[in-house]
Amino acid sequence: MKNFKLYILVLSVFVCSSCEKFLETEPFTFTTVNTLYNSPENAELGLIGCYSALHNTWFQGEVGALLTSAGTDEVVTSVGFSDVNYSPFGLLGVTSQNETIRSNWANLFNAINRVNNLLENIEKAGVPDPRKVEMISEARFLRGIHYLYLAFNYGGVPIYESAVHAEDAPRASLREVYDFIIADLTFAYENLPDRAAVQGRANKWSAAGFLAKTYTYLASAKINNVGG
């Protein structure tokens, strides 16, 4: 019995010391947020990561169409279609428990977090002007349109200007969210070139288009007392 107790004691010490090693937080990959922004070239990679969020199905594709067109004649559930995550959108029966809504919310804020990480770290990457200003403008353009779709779908949402996203952050008012969107898109419009150096990237007129979309929506919202 004594030997058994001694064995348990030794095993416990071994397990505890092993756990400390398993819980080491040092990253073993080559790229983390803390190590990425150490050169202009890597900062460009960070910006590509911000753009890549646009290809997420939760932003565009079928999910984006569902969320922005639900309740219109563009989204009507066909007879016999019973997918619990999609059919409620065409029946105006969506609840907060819908997995599509939860995933859309999380992925839009993940995209915003990528932008905020870039904006917080671009200075230490040593990106020279005027490219640094262009990169900041592209990032703020992306943040602006992600917040635009959050506002379309959910109204007032938490506003994050840093990479720290608090789970219990309060929702800003719809007016505050749109003021934030307009500030980001206006900055992009005023600082981006007429034509992007890389095809497919945001330029001055990309920002102008989304500003027009924003102001058109706000005019409609005013008429229909959205947020009132």
Peptide bond into 130 cis (omega under 30): yes
Distance of alpha carbon 105 from the chain centroid: 8
The four Cα atoms 138, 227, 95, 80 give a dihedral, to 10 degrees, of: -80
Burial class (CB in 10 A: 0-12, 13-18, 19+), 14: exposed
Q: What is the pTM of this model?
A: 0.81
pLDDT in tens, 129-173: 999 999 999 999 999 999 999 998 889 999 999 999 888 899 999
Residues 54-69 pLDDT 10s: 887 666 666 777 777 7
pLDDT at 86: 81
Instruction: Average the pLDDT over 9-27 and give the result.
Output: 56
Q: Is a pLDDT exceeding 80 seen at residue 212?
A: yes
Q: What is the pLDDT of residue 16?
A: 56
Among 19-23, 115-119, 194-198, the range with the most confident prediction by mean pLDDT is: 115-119
What whole-number distance in Å separates Cα of residue 213 and Cα of residue 141?
Answer: 13
Q: Does position 73 have pLDDT exceeding 80, yes or no?
A: no
8 or 219, greater pLDDT:
219
Residue 3, pLDDT score: 58
For 33-46, how does the pLDDT look when each residue is reduced to its tens digit (9 = 90+)? 677 889 999 999 99
* Cβ(134)–Cβ(192) below 8 Å: yes
pLDDT at 224 > cutoff 90: no
User: Which of 1-10, 44-53, 61-70, 199-208 has the least mean pLDDT?
Assistant: 1-10
pLDDT digits (tens, 9 = 90+) for 74-128: 778 877 788 888 888 888 888 878 888 888 898 999 999 999 999 999 999 999 9
Per-residue pLDDT band at 26 (split at 50, 70, 90)? low
